[in-house]
């Protein structure tokens, strides 16, 4: 019996896959647990439509990621931080502070988990912070930390 998997089934298939399984396995185990649906014309068309919608969404996200990476080129984001007498900051400049500064100064919204800091920023100066947008698209955020 040909079935379409609705969930990942360990050792069998992943969600969305079309696979031939034995009739008894499908009737007695997979169908009662709503892990699969029978691969008839209606279900195949629904699967094709879902796949088409998923690909369109992925293309839209990829385009947005590329657009954000292009926006970051040449921008310098200023973050204000307080320090002690010797020039070292109280704490470190966090990814959230950088994201907030990007939104406030340039109107670019990023999630803090997209920023990858090698070492914590604990002193005044200029830094480059990598930004991973996904889909193999990376960017660089230029951060200038000043006294504030």
- Domain 73-147 of CATH type 3.10.430.100: yes
User: Cα(140)–Cα(70) distance, rounded to whole angstroms?
Assistant: 10
Size of the chain in residues: 148
Separation of alpha carbons 80 and 148, rounded Å: 5
Residue 19 confidence (pLDDT): 93
Could you give the 3-state DSSP secondary structure of residue 148?
Answer: coil
So what's the pLDDT on residue 74? 85
> Dihedral of CA 17/20/25/27: which sign?
positive
Task: Give the C-alpha separation, 135 to 142, whole Å.
Answer: 22
Query: pTM of the entire structure?
Result: 0.69
pLDDT band with cut points at 50, 70 and 90 for residue 102: very high
Q: What is the pLDDT of residue 84?
A: 80
* Residue 59, phi then psi, degrees to nearest 5: -65, -40
41-75 pLDDT, tens digit per residue, is 999 999 899 889 999 999 999 998 898 889 888 89
Over its C-alpha atoms, the chain yields an Rg (Å, rounded) of 24
What pLDDT score does 108 carry?
87
Do the domains spanning 2-67 and 73-147 agree at the CATH topology level?
no
Check if the beta carbon of residue 49 is closer than 8 Å to that of residue 116.
Answer: no
Contacts of 38 (CB under 8 A, 6+ apart): 1, 2, 3, 4, 26, 31
CATH H superfamily, domain 2-67: Ribosomal protein L9, N-terminal domain (3.40.5.10)
Domain coordinates of the chain in residue numbers? 2-67, 73-147
What is the pLDDT confidence band of residue 85, given thresholds at 50, 70 and 90?
confident
Number of other residues whose CB lies within 10 A of the CB of residue 10: 6
């Amino acid at each position: 019996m040909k079935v379409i998997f609705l969930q990942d089934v360990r050792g069998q298939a992943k969600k969305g896959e079309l696979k031939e399984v034995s009739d008894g396995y499908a009737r007695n185990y997979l169908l009662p647990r709503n892990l699969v649906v029978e691969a008839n014309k209606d279900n195949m068309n629904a699967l094709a439509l879902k796949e088409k919608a998923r690909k369109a969404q992925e293309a839209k996200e990829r385009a947005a990621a590329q657009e954000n990476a292009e926006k970051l080129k040449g921008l310098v984001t200023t973050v204000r931080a307080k320090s002690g007498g010797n020039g070292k900051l109280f704490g470190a400049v966090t990814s959230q502070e950088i994201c907030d500064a990007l939104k406030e100064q340039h109107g670019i919204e990023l999630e803090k988990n997209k920023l990858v800091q090698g070492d914590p920023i604990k002193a005044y100066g200029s830094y480059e912070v990598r930004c991973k947008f996904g889909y193999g698209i990376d960017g660089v955020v230029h951060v200038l930390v000043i006294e504030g």
